[in-house]
Amino acid sequence: MGVAERRERERAEIREKILDAARELFAEQGYEAVTMRRIADKIEYSPTAIYFHFQDKAALLRALCDEDFGALAKHFQSIARIADPIERLRAIGSAYVEFGLAHPNQYRFMFMTPRPPMGPEESALEQGNPEEDAYAFLKTTIEEGLAQKRFRARLGDADLLSQAVWEAVHGVISLQIAKCNDGWITWHPVRESAALVVDALIRGLTGKPEGE
């Protein structure tokens, strides 16, 4: 490995350390409370090293959003080949759960941490592209189901259906992350409860009776 190649690898490793530290601190303390110096202290680097990679905290936030939301969209691509939109919708629910369980820090940052709004023009991800935009992947699946008249007749708003599905499955993961160690309740395995939630949701949206 040449000197330039080694330096580039080291630079990428430092950048990833910064992102990991920022993600964890934002989720634990809130975006507004975390400073660039605090991030530098966590990884035992100087603030100058942080600014070499990111111009300011807003730039760091944009990079972190692009990385984590891009990872979720990529995670969905393994089920893109499922032709039936209802079965793909069921798989989306399962894949979303698996992403949250495998990456709890990312999930906390993405969906459980208030932060400044970021417009599509500020992201490297293409809004509306199902390969880069996880919400677009979900909405496209819903739109295919609507085109095939697979949902109840009175349900025709793709955004409303997409958000209802998202909200339902988000509840499973956020509860698992926040309360899984609470001994007050005897918790069932999260995948079992998630599958029940997704199944009940799909039956409710499609009007498919029990046993079919």
**What's the total number of domains in the chain?**
2
The domain in which residue 11 lies consists of 1-54
User: How large a percentage of the chain has pLDDT more than 70?
Assistant: 97
Same domain, 77 and 31: no
Same domain, 14 and 110: no
- pLDDT one-digit tens code per residue, 76-89: 999 999 999 999 99
Q: Is 56 exposed, middle or buried (0-12, 13-18, 19+ CB in 10 A)?
A: exposed
The pLDDT of residue 3 is 72
Same domain, 70 and 13: no
CATH of the domain at 106: 1.10.357.10
Query: What CA dihedral angle connects 211, 201, 180 and 18, to 10 degrees?
Result: 130
Residue 7 banded pLDDT, cuts 50, 70, 90: confident
- pLDDT one-digit tens code per residue, 144-176: 999 999 999 999 999 999 999 999 999 999 999
Contact criterion met (CB below 8 Å) for 43 and 17: yes
Instruction: Please count the other Cβ atoms lying within 10 Å of the Cβ belonging to residue 189.
Output: 8
CATH of the domain at 22: 1.10.10.60
**What gap in Å lies between CA 141 and CA 11, rounded to an integer?**
39
Q: Which two structure tokens, joined as six digits, stand for 182?
A: 């609470």
Contact criterion met (CB below 8 Å) for 22 and 34: yes
Same domain, 109 and 8: no
Same domain, 176 and 76: yes
| DSSP code per residue over 62-117 | HHHHHHHHHHHHHHHGGGTT--SHHHHHHHHHHHHHHHHHH-HHHHHHHHSS----
Same domain, 37 and 118: no
The pLDDT of residue 118 is 87
Does the pLDDT at position 211 exceed 90? no
**Average pLDDT estimate for 22-36:** 94
Does the pLDDT at position 208 exceed 80? no
Same domain, 115 and 186: yes
Same domain, 72 and 22: no
Residue 183 banded pLDDT, cuts 50, 70, 90: confident
Looking at 15, 33, 54, which one is the last position of a domain? 54
The pLDDT of residue 95 is 97
